[in-house]
A = this chain, B = another copy of it.
């Protein structure tokens, strides 16, 4: 990982340190490829790197991690430290100090989410929070793009079964004989069959859909928007996809039709403007301008990076920096009227030197 070494040199540090689990902390999984529910230690010094895991995880780490130098906390006398301190945190801190001293590390970079508690206890060392892994993660490798494409395929399959269920559902007065919860379960079953999983899913109709992150509950309404937002990840590779469609059973109002067309136009403008070198801000402003022209207000950003985290950089928003080839970002304009409903369309695109490649093939059609 050449990028990392150069960046550490530029930061003028002796190394890089992480202390976290790798289920919650994508940085740790990114570096180690080792899925671990409890905190462990990653150290990089010059171009060598090692991890320190508990005795119990040692053999598995040897097998599953991409780090060749796997060490056990036993090598650093963890059991004696536990007996001495009778406190796992104190024992871990002494172990960490011991490791840094043995490696001759004085000044070390840590990621932005590094624990304040640990840093504040390492008084003899200079700890520098550096936005480094987060930056690296924004530009995807071929293997990462392949994983994201696989997740996206699963996402589209699940979207299809969801929309099929909505299309076929009986109408019972002014609602479908089908709830948000039903559709979410249908989606989850399909994702599981495709090797994916979702931490959450949005299936929200009518006024519920006017709240962009409302998960949705109860019977789905007719003649109004149903927003379906699916953002699964591959169980093994841990990479996400992200897609939203808005559909409707029955007859749309003029307002909903206009909102849908405006969102679609905004998405097309955004996608046609995306290429390496353009800023996320420029893309976002183009969407905001179109919405304003047509009398609407935009309450969220136009998009975000997708990878090991479903929300990561770069951002298509007021603070959006220059896009780079290899960024994988969502393009998800949306309009929300609290009195009516919401409309959102979200595609996932890969930024290239000359434009972008839309990784999303799923059709966009309001009335189903």
A binding-site residues for B, Cβ under 8 Å: 23-25, 35-38, 54-57, 59-60, 63, 79, 82-83, 85-89, 91, 110, 112-120, 127, 129, 131, 185, 188-189, 192-193, 197, 199-200, 211-215, 281, 299-300, 310-311, 315, 317-319, 338
Contact = CB atoms under 8 A, between A and B. Distances in A.
How many monomers of this chain does the complex have?
Answer: 2
B318 A213 contact: no
Contacts of A85: 319
B60 A211 contact: yes
The residue in A55, A88, A300 that gathers the most chain B C-beta atoms within 10 A of its C-beta is A88
Contacts of A23: 199-200
Contact of A129 (B35, B82, B120, B319): B120
B91 A319 contact: yes
26 contacts: A23-B200, A24-B24, A35-B200, A35-B215, A36-B213, A37-B311, A38-B311, A56-B213, A56-B299, A59-B211, A60-B213, A60-B214, A85-B319, A87-B319, A88-B319, A89-B131, A113-B117, A114-B116, A114-B117, A115-B115, A116-B116, A119-B119, A185-B193, A188-B197, A192-B192, A197-B199
A115 B117 contact: no
Given A112-B115, A112-B117, A120-B129, 17 more contacts: A24-B24, A35-B215, A37-B311, A56-B300, A57-B213, A59-B338, A82-B317, A82-B318, A85-B319, A88-B315, A88-B317, A89-B112, A114-B116, A116-B120, A116-B127, A189-B189, A197-B197
